[in-house]
Amino acid sequence: MTTAINHILVVEDEQHIRRFVRTALESEAYQVTEAGTCTQGLQDIRTQRLDMLILDLGLPDGDGVQLIQTLRTWSKLPVLVLSARSADQDKIKALDAGADDYLSKPFSTGELLARVRALLRRSQFNPETASPLIHFGDIEVDLSQRQVRRRGEAVRITPIEFHLLSLLLLNAGRVMTHRHLLREVWGSTYVESNHYLRVYVGHLRQKLEDDPSQPRHLLTETGIGYRFQL
């Protein structure tokens, strides 16, 4: 199956709505992460590569509007608000805080998905949200566009290679354990297949390192895992 490139974070405390939204999104092959609280949500936003945030306003541990405002001080991540309230003032406050769309409950799967598509479509036109370029050596990586360049020339990257690379880049400087990488890329049944990693790390070194036998960026942490040094 085709790799989902759109990653959506759903912040919602009510269990059943969360499941409802997740199911809807997954049926369209989006990658979904869930959070139940503001704090957890912010945590996820900081650590994950996301394309969109779906946020319920009525969270137990804090004000959703507040969260949007904080978020907007450093990110343009598209935000779709869900809310039980349908009063004008609520909508206006949320939208002016920086939300991009506001959907009152109850809502249908169809409308939710259509609004998600519209939002993703629009935000992907926007070059500023889209391109946190990552540089190292003579390589340039654009994660949101799934592109890798070496001295300006496009480098061919397979889906698995790209998945692995983006994990390492998003956690640049940190050690990523074998198990963690394997679980993310191949799934939890492969956490012991260290061999896969060796092979694909090898591929990436061939494509990215000046001297693949003397890697300067994609480093191995013997007995632990790998680390990416920008």
Partner DNA sequence: GGTGGGCGTGGCGATTCCGTGAACCCATGC
Partner DNA sequence: GCATGGGTTCACGGAATCGCCACGCCCACC
Nearer to a copy of itself, 66 or 131 (CB): 131
Interface with DNA by CB under 7 A: which residues? 1-2, 156, 158-161, 178, 186, 193-196, 198-199, 201-202, 205-206, 212-213, 215, 220-225
According to CB under 8 A, which one of 175, 193, 198, 202 is a site residue for a copy of itself?
Answer: 175
Q: Which of 179, 186, 203, 212 binds a copy of itself (CB under 8 A)?
A: 179
Residue 13 near residue 54 (C-beta atoms within 8 A): no
Query: For residue 161, with 0-12 CB atoms within 10 Å meaning exposed, 13-18 middle and 19 or more buried, which class applies?
Result: buried
Shortest spacing between CB 208 and a copy of itself, in angstroms: 18
Closest CA to 49 of 161, 131, 157, 135: 131
Nearer to a copy of itself, 150 or 179 (CB): 179
Parallel, antiparallel, or unpaired for β 218-221 and 79-83? unpaired
Q: What is the DSSP letter of 51?
A: S
Q: Closest approach of Cβ 194 to DNA, in Å?
A: 5
Q: Given candidates 11, 55, 65, 99, which one binds a copy of itself under the rule CB under 8 A? A: 99
- What does the alpha-carbon distance between residue 56 and residue 72 come to, in Å, rounded to a whole number? 17
152 binds a copy of itself (CB under 8 A): no
Q: % helix / strand / coil in the chain, to the nearest 5?
A: 45, 20, 35
**How many residues in total does the chain contain?**
230
25 contacts 116 by C-beta, under 8 angstroms: yes
Find the shortest distance in angstroms from Cβ 169 to DNA: 17
Instruction: Give residue for tokens 């640049």.
Output: 172
Q: Judged by CB under 8 A, which of 29, 84, 133, 230 binds a copy of itself? A: 29
- Positions in the binding site for a copy of itself (CB under 8 A): 2-3, 5, 28-29, 76, 78, 88-89, 91-92, 95-96, 98-101, 108, 110-111, 113-115, 117-118, 121-126, 128, 145-147, 158-159, 171, 173-175, 177-179, 183, 221-225
